[in-house]
Structure formats: C-alpha cells, structure tokens
Amino acid sequence: MDRIRVLVVEDSLSVRKRLVEVLTSDATFEVIGEAENGQQAIEMCRALRPNVVTLDMHLPVMDGVSATEHIMGHFPTPILIVSSSTNRGDLFKTYDALAAGAVDVLEKPTGEEPDGSWEKKFLSAVRLVSKIRVITHVRARLGGAVRAESVPAMPVAQSELGRSVIAVGASTGGPGALVEVLRRIPRGLPATILIVLHIDEPFSSAFAEWLGSQTAHAVHYATGGEAVAPSGKGRVFMAPPGSHLIARGGRLVLSSEAERHSCRPSVDVLFESLALECARQTVACLLTGMGRDGASGLLALRRAGAFTIAQDEASSVIYGMPREAALLGAAESILSLAEIGPAVTRATAKLGSSA
C-alpha cells in the first residue's frame, strides 16, 4: 500500500523535528519535505505534491493564512493546522485558514498529556485529513478574503418576513460553510439563527466573534435563557464550547449532559429539541461534516413539519453528516452551499406569511 506523503511546515526546528519523528515512527507515513516558512511551503507543495500538509500559523516570510490561501487556490492539498496559539488574534488567523480551505486544526503538545496520547491523536488526524477530497478555493486568486460587505444580500421585502427559527449544524469544513450561508441571509431577518459547530477546544473560544466579523450578522455564544423566537430583528446564537444547546419552554438552555456521537455540543440534541418545541416554525440545515451527527435530528424535524435542507456532495468538504441525512430521507431539499442561504431566506419568508 502506498504511504501517505507528508509535508511538514513549522518554523521551530525542535517542534519540526518532533513532528517528523512522530510521523516516521509509523510506516504508514513518508515525510517528503520540511519547510520553515510559508513561501517554502508553497514552493515545496507545488514541486512535491504531498498527500497532506501539516502547517503552523506563525511562520516567517509568509504566514500560515497566506500560505493556505495560495495552496488552496492553485494546487489544492489537504491541510492540517498544528498550532499552539490560542489568543484572540491568533485564533482569528486559524479561523481564516479554515475558511480558506484548511481541513482541521490540532493543538500542539503541551507536555502535560499522558505518554503517547498526543502522538496517537496527531497520527490519526494526519491520516484522516489526507483522505479528504479538497476543492479549489479562489481567495488567493482574488487577492485575499472576500469581505462580508462585498457580498450582496438577497433583497427581501419587510412585508414578506415573519418570525421563525433557523437551525444550522456543521462540522469539518464548517467555518467556511457557515460564512457562506450567513452572508446570503439578509441582516435583520426577524428570525433567531441557532448554530452548532464541532470545533475542538481551545480553538472554539473566539469563533462566534470571528463569524460575526466575516458576515453582516452579530453572532454570540448562547448563555441560556434567551428567547428562541423573539419578535423584531433576529439574532444569531451559537452553542458554546462544551455545552449542548437546547430549545425548551420557549427559551434556550445549555446542558452538560453526555456527548452524542462523541460531540458536545451535538447537532442532534439541538434539532431534536426544536422538533418538540417549534418544528413548524423551523428551517433546519445540515452542512458539511464527518460522521452522522444531525442526521436523525433533521429527520425528526422533517417528520414534525420543519423545512429541512442538507448540503450536496459537490460543495461539501466532507459529505458525511449531510449524506447520512439524505440516506434517511431527512432532507426535503439537497442544495449546494451557495443555494442554502437564499433558500433559507425564502422559506423563512414563507413561514412568516403563513404564521
């Protein structure tokens, strides 16, 4: 069986050698190159065509975000971010790289992990990311990220709008997908938008703020007690790291109950609560992601009268969660990523006019 060809990009010599040592300890992998800055990463990726790149964010000459944009814009390659940066500014850069096409992020070892645990997690992550089918991202060719204000929102007459709930679940590939969906939903739509995203701590702490900075919407982590369907202008709430988000008695509730599908927050938990609470006023979307979290919840919502959408295979980074939903018959519509925001807006307007 062919070995997985890995390019390691890390400016710290000691960290780079450690990553190479871990990779070469497993016969599955072949380290075909080592780069110490972003420009070298681009040149070596172009010349060597690895199966996967491990990439630090803090790099000299060209940083990890710029390197990701160029690689994904010109010779798409699965990228695993390996970073120890968890302050607000560094987290924003990590989210930028994920939105530009990097597949996943893993924290560098802290030295406090049990023997062999981080190494096992690292090898598993590299193996998994190497198998992802990645697509071309045009950000580098357009000269950087497209800002939210440059993406026109679909006009909707205020008389057509009404109160409702929009629920969105995503996992791997989710940061970029969520940006795309929210940019195509008009600001001020009088609907509460609820989001569950699988992203490991400590990288999740500033994601809501970053998502708001990329779109026209103010995004906040739910704290519990917020009204599920407030009147007036809508709001966007995310499940906070480590807590399930639940709709109960007209309010949002946070729960530390057991993980579902090894996830907390879980998309299924939110979707199932909405199926019991307000299904006929809900539009639910299941986006790109690995596994099956959200599929059975989407089915429960559809059976209870919600309008349900699953992302299609062609536009998904990983066609896992939406595929499971499609197989269950949980999705009333299967749409490309670019179509989901406008479809949600139209469905919300329809619900409002019939309320």
Tokens 């992203």 belong to residue: 199
E strands in the chain: 4-9, 29-35, 52-55, 79-83, 104-107, 164-170, 191-197, 219-221, 236-238, 244-248, 251-255, 282-286, 307-311, 333-335
Which of 70, 137, 198, 244 is an active site residue?
A: 198
Q: Tokens for 37? A: 């800055």
CA 12 to each of CA 17, 22, 55, 83: distance values in angstroms, whole numbers, following the listed order? 9, 16, 12, 12
**The length of the chain, given as a count of residues:** 355
C-alpha–C-alpha distance, residues 63 and 254, integer Å: 37
C-alpha–C-alpha distance, residues 10 and 313, integer Å: 33
* Residue among 78, 162, 84 nearest 126 (CA): 78
Bridging pattern class, strands 4-9 and 29-35: parallel
- First-to-last CA distance in the chain? 59
Q: Which helix (H) or strand (E) element contains residue 42?
A: helix 38-48
Tokens 């970029």 belong to residue: 176
**Annotated catalytic, 293?**
yes
Which of 130, 164, 171, 315 is an active site residue?
A: 171
Q: Tokens for 195? A: 């989001």
Which of 56, 96, 268, 293 is an active site residue?
A: 293
What is the torsional sign of CA 207, 209, 214, 218? positive
C-alpha–C-alpha distance, residues 137 and 68, integer Å: 10
Active site residues: 171, 198, 293
